Amino acid sequence: MEIKKLLFVTKFEELGFDALRSLLNLRNSALEHVVFVNVIERDRVAMRRGKGYEKEEEIRLREAANIRFIDWAENLFEQGMEVGCYIVVGGLVPEVIKATQKEDADLIVIGRSHKGVLEHLYSGSDVTELLRRAWTPVLVYKHLSETAISVEEPFERPLLAIDWSPGSLRAVEYIKALKNTVQEVHLVYVADEKTLKGPSAMGIQKTRKEARNKLGKICGSFEAVGIKAREHVYIGDPDEEIEKAAKDCQATMIVLGSSAKTAWVEKFLGSTPRKIAEESIYPTLLIPPEKSEE
Amino acid sequence: MSKKVLVVDDDPDVRLFSVTVLEENGYTPLEAEDGEIGLKMIKAEKPDLVILDVLMPRQSGVRLYRELKTSKALKDVKVIILSGIAKKTFLRSQKALTEFGGAEIPEPGIYLEKPVEPDELAEVIKKVLG
What pLDDT is stored for residue B122 in this prediction? 97
What residue segments make up the domains of chain B, in order of their start? 4-129
Q: Which of A69, A78, A79 has the CB atom closest to B55's CB atom?
A: A69
Query: pLDDT value at position A292?
Result: 64
Least confident of A58-62, A109-113, A170-174, A278-282: A109-113
Say what the pLDDT of residue A290 is. Answer: 81
Average pLDDT over residues A3-9: 97
pLDDT tens digits for B91-130?
999 999 999 888 999 999 899 999 999 999 999 999 999 8
List pLDDT tens digits, range A132-151: 888 899 999 986 555 555 55
Span B3-10, average pLDDT: 97
pLDDT score recorded for residue A149: 55
B49 close contact with A: CB closer than 8 A: no
pLDDT value at position B7?
98
Q: What is the pLDDT of residues A221-273, one digit of tens each?
A: 999 999 999 999 998 999 999 999 999 999 999 999 987 555 544 554 457 88
pLDDT at A118 over 90: no
What does the mean pLDDT of chain A come to?
A: 86
Buried b (16+ CB within 10 A) or exposed e, A140-158: bbbbeeeeeeebebbbbbb
Max CA distance (Å), chain B = 43
Q: How many percent of chain B have pLDDT more than 90?
A: 95
For the beta sheet containing A184-191, the strands, ordered from the edge strand earlier in sequence to the opposite edge, are A82-90, A33-41, A5-9, A107-111, A138-141, A284-287, A253-257, A158-161, A184-191, A228-235
- In terms of Cα–Cα distance, which of A140, A80, A67, A60 is closest to A108? A140
> Could you tell me what percent of chain A has a pLDDT over 70?
85
Residue A278 has pLDDT above 90, yes or no: no
Nearest to B60 among A67, A82, A99 (CB): A82
pLDDT at A2 over 70: yes
Is any Cβ of chain A less than 8 angstroms from the Cβ of B17? no
Say if the Cβ atoms of A84 and B55 lie within 8 Å.
yes
pLDDT of residue A279: 87
- CATH 3.40.50.620 positions along chain A are 1-111, 144-294
Residues of A in contact with B53 (CB under 8 A): none
Strand arrangement of the beta sheet that strand B49-52 belongs to: B28-32, B4-8, B49-52, B78-83, B110-113
Task: Give yes or no for residue A163 having a pLDDT over 70.
Answer: yes
Whether residue A208 contacts residue A233, with contact meaning beta carbons closer than 8 Å, is answered with yes
CA of B98: which chain A residue's CA is closest? A80
Q: Closest by alpha carbon to A126, among A254, A12, A277? A: A277
Q: Per DSSP, what are the bridge partners of residue A140?
A: A110, A284
Cβ <8 Å between B85 and A73: yes
**Confidence at residue A269, expressed as pLDDT on a 0 to 100 scale:** 47
**Averaged confidence pLDDT in chain B:** 96
pLDDT of residue A55: 84
ipTM higher than the 0.85 cut: yes
The pLDDT of residue A128 is: 83
pLDDT of residue A112: 79
Q: Which of A234, A276, A280 is nearest to A258 (CA)?
A: A276
Q: Which fold has domain B4-129?
A: Rossmann fold (3.40.50)
Average pLDDT of the residues in A89-117: 88
Q: Could you confirm whether domain A1-111 is CATH 3.40.50.620?
A: yes
Q: Say what the pLDDT of residue A274 is.
A: 81
Best probe of the B interface among A33, A74, A75, A96, by most B CBs < 10 A, is A74
Per CATH, which fold does A144-294 belong to? Answer: Rossmann fold (3.40.50)
